[in-house]
Structure 1
């Protein structure tokens, strides 16, 4: 088995940072009324700027595959030519279409010659699953290199026109229709962007990161869906897919919008997160004090203190000074967040040989968690 190293990292954040006060200008006002939930959500998540693939005139500038293509091309240098990529593995929770796959569309934009592609589906963990596929391919000797990506382009899913037909329909049914909070909530949480890693079987580059191990856990056998799109959640918890509704119901119910069961999220995301963290580090004999940098992908700073408290409760406390996050200035970029965090940490000049970096990524879709341990070489 080969050793696997992250030898180059890149990110692509579209256009300029968008402040909280500009969000409704970009995404649009629903039913002519400013969102009542916006200030509450933003106060809790403490995100101050994020990025949208929308220009100042309201035009869409990039789709998801194009964002990913931009990040991948930033990996090119004298040591990596476009046609030398042996495997392209791309994760996202917001693909541009149902078919073809996301990685196929990225490959189409790259036009870099024949290569193997892989498109793990899912939410935030899809970026880590893309990384694990590349990690295992290089480790097994199947390939000598792999480019792995995480990306999101959710802004277009959150624009006001996505919900207009639903509000018109509700207007015929009740006097004071409002967009359900489980749909409005995510409009103020999500951001666009892409990140990419180059994996190789040799420690090339200035400060390569060796991938020691990767682990994943799912709690779908215990818990209902929490974040979903392309379906409606029934009272029983069952997800009824868009394909079982008549087409005129798709827009009336905003079936393709992302939705979040906030109550289910709050009850489970941290407890199961720390439970899975304990399993991962115990399996590999890692102690919390061995971790130099802890990079948790969290959707909101609302969860930060509560995550720490749950760690203390379950006896896996990682000290605050070891935490590294950038949520407040780049926003929640879903599957891309962990890539963008690692890129920022690597570019900070803080890393030194021997440092241990623990990556921690949850997804609330049906509660799954992914972990990786990196060592600075």
Structure 2
């Protein structure tokens, strides 16, 4: 089995950063009313700015596939070009189309050569699942390199016009015309962007990141759906898919909006995260004291203190100085967030040979968790 190294990292964030005060200038006002959730959500999530792939007039500047292609093009240098790519593996939770897959749309924009293509769907873990496919391909010597990506373009799902029909319908039904919190609060959480890694079977450059192992865990067998889109959650916890609703119901109930059961989120996200992380490091016989950098993807700074306490309670404490996050500067980019964190750390000049980096990515859709251990190596 070959060793696998991340030899190049790249990101693409569209347009200019958008401050908290500017958000509704871009997203619009639902039913011409300022959001009641915005102030509370922004205070808790700690996000100061984010990026959107459209302008103030609502005109699209990039699709998800275009964001991803831009990030991939940042990997090219004198040693690796578009014709050298052997495998393309992409993950996202916000594809531009139901069919074709996100990955083949990206490949179409690259216009490079015939390559193997893999697409990972899901939520935040989709980016890590795309990475694992590339990792296993290079490790098993099926390919000598792989380009892996994580990306999101969720902002267009958050525009006010996507919810106005629902609120107008509520008003006609003589109900309170207010967008439900499970939909409204996510409008102020999510951001657009893409990250990309080049995986190779040999290190190069001043520093590379060796992937020592990757592990994934799902708790869908015991916990019901928490975060969802294209469906509605019923009283018994099951989800009713969009295909079983009428087109008018798609509008009246905002079926395609991203929603989250916040009670379930608070109940399980930290507990299962700490439990699964401890399982991963125990399996590979590494203690938390050996970790130099801990990169946890969190949707909100609201969870940071609780995650730290939960990890300590499960025997996997992570000292505060080891934590590395950039949520405040780039927002929650879902499947792309871990790529953006690695890119920023890699470019920071802080890394030295021998450093160990633990990546931790949860997703609340049905409570899944993915981990990877990286070691910094010289050329």
Query: Do Structure 1 and Structure 2 share a fold, with TM-score over 0.5?
Result: yes
**TM superposition outliers: structure 1 runs of 4+ over 3 Å:** none
**2 CA distance for matches of 1:48 and 1:21?**
9
Is the aligned partner of 1:99 residue 2:99?
yes
Partner of 1:233: 233
Count, aligned residues: 377
Is the aligned partner of 1:220 residue 2:220?
yes
Partner of 2:11: 11
Residue correspondence of structure 1 range 1-377 to structure 2 within 5 A: 1-377=1-377
**1 CA distance for matches of 2:218 and 2:139?**
24
Q: CA deviation at 1:194?
A: 0.1
Summarize deviations over 1:271-328 as a string: whole Å, max 9, x none. 0000000100000001010000000000000000000111121121010011101000
Secondary structure at the residue paired with 1:134?
A: helix
Secondary structure at the residue paired with 1:295?
A: strand
Q: CA deviation at 1:56?
A: 3.9
Summarize deviations over 1:96-120 as a string: whole Å, max 9, x none. 0100000000000100111010001
Kindly report the root-mean-square deviation, in angstroms, between the aligned alpha carbons of the 2 structures.
0.7
Preserved contact between residue 7 and residue 198 of structure 2 (Cα < 8 Å): yes
**1 CA distance for matches of 2:312 and 2:195?**
32
Secondary structure at the residue paired with 1:119?
A: strand
**2 CA distance for matches of 1:336 and 1:312?**
27
User: What are the ranges of 5 or more consecutive residues in structure 2 without an aligned counterpart?
Assistant: none
Secondary structure at the residue paired with 1:34?
A: coil
User: What are the ranges of 5 or more consecutive residues in structure 1 without an aligned counterpart?
Assistant: none
Preserved contact between residue 358 and residue 374 of structure 2 (Cα < 8 Å): yes
Secondary structure at the residue paired with 2:369?
A: strand
TM-score, length basis structure 1: 0.99
Summarize deviations over 1:301-357 as a string: whole Å, max 9, x none. 000000011112112101001110100010000000000000000111000000000
Q: CA deviation at 1:175?
A: 4.6
Preserved contact between residue 25 and residue 56 of structure 2 (Cα < 8 Å): no
Secondary structure at the residue paired with 2:310?
A: helix
TM-score, length basis structure 2: 0.99
Preserved contact between residue 190 and residue 332 of structure 2 (Cα < 8 Å): yes
**2 CA distance for matches of 1:261 and 1:185?**
11
**1 CA distance for matches of 2:272 and 2:45?**
20
Secondary structure at the residue paired with 1:70?
A: helix
